[in-house]
Amino acid sequence: MKRLNTLLAAIAIAFPVASNAAVSILFDADGAGGAFAPVSVTTFDWKPGSALAVGGNGVQTGDSTKLLYQANLGTVDDAGGNTVVAPGLFGTPRFTAVAGFWETAAISGTSASFTFDAVKSGVGVSADNFFYIYANGAAISDNLNGTGFVGAGAPILSAYVSTVNSSNFEYSVDPITGALVPVQTLDQFGSDNWGGTQTAVGSGATDLVLIIQSVNANYFPNLLSGSTISLGMTNTSQVDPFQQVDPSKNFSTNGTVGANYAANVGPVNGFDTGLGKDFIFQADANLSFEVQNVPEPGSIALIGAALLAAGAASRRRRG
């Protein structure tokens, strides 16, 4: 038995069990183009963008909606919070993100919470469950019209949602009277480009876990498929009205065809102004990376062979 325990301990040291830990990764901003060397980064800080719950205006408990998201990359930061890549500056390309997945609502008073709809979303990258990062060169995407977020080439990273740790939105109320805060103009970024569309006032947060399915090694030299991403829209970063960016009028429904869905928002965003209307909100997200220490298939085979040998040795001793 002592020999068996020693062997098992050696196997555990050589092949650690799966675990998740936030890490720094290497990122090459020009895709191994030569002008910029890979740098160690921990966070992709996305600029405020738009998120749309398709058919989400007036949802009831148990209803499912497809959430669509798109944004431009703001900065890429290291473990100390220092900006090491500023897309669009010094010749670095611009980057965009698009995402989509299904959620199921639970309504309680002026609050709404959402859970991941695994059945409708499915497992793996698909038109119902996707997260893509695109490198768009010098092109600037248009937040208002929702164009340019899907790049002309293949995405440099593709992933799918595996877990929604939390997702919520709460309408703002007067702390004294308890009445809902009166509606405001939806687009308060610069001039009103939404023709007087109004919105309920509120805020929320979302925390997602995504599994990477493929990466372009020219941009991510040491990031492997199967690693996890944490995408957090936190610190009241899901908000209405829009004050830091124009609300997008068009979205990508599958992450590969750009601006193929026109946002169908009613005259008052966030209130039930007719079933089938969409709910739009400003979304500000950060992305961090984790690594799963999962043995390769060949290593798993070696573990199995070692265990079989240990079992045979144990049987011979008993015999």
pLDDT-based confidence at residue 274 (cuts at 50, 70, 90): low
Q: What is the pLDDT of residue 308?
A: 38
Q: Is the pLDDT of residue 164 over 70?
A: yes
Q: What is the pLDDT of residue 91?
A: 77
pLDDT-based confidence at residue 231 (cuts at 50, 70, 90): low
Mean pLDDT of 91-104: 94
In the chain, the amino acid numbered 21 is A
Mean pLDDT of 207-212: 90
pTM of the predicted model, to two decimals? 0.84
What is the rounded CA–CA span in Å between residue 246 and residue 123? 32
Mean pLDDT, all residues of the chain: 83
Q: Which residues contact 240 (CB under 8 A, 6 or more apart)?
A: 186, 199, 200, 201, 202, 203, 269, 270, 280, 281, 282
Cis peptide before 93 (omega within 30 of 0): no
Domain extents in the chain: 1-18+297-319, 20-292
Over residues 67-91, the pLDDT tens digits come to 999 999 999 999 999 999 998 887 7
Q: Is the pLDDT of residue 41 over 90?
A: yes
Find the range with the poorest average confidence among 30-34, 151-155, 204-208: 30-34
Q: Is the pLDDT of residue 318 over 60?
A: no
Mean pLDDT of 113-119: 96
Q: In what order do the strands lie in the sheet with 198-199?
A: 184-185, 198-199, 268-269
Mean pLDDT of 125-151: 95
Q: Is the pLDDT of residue 117 over 80?
A: yes
What is the rounded CA–CA span in Å between residue 155 and residue 276? 31
Q: What is the pLDDT of residue 275?
A: 65
Task: Please state the φ and ψ torsions of residue 248, each to the nearest 5 degrees.
Answer: -75, 135
End-to-end CA distance of the chain: 14
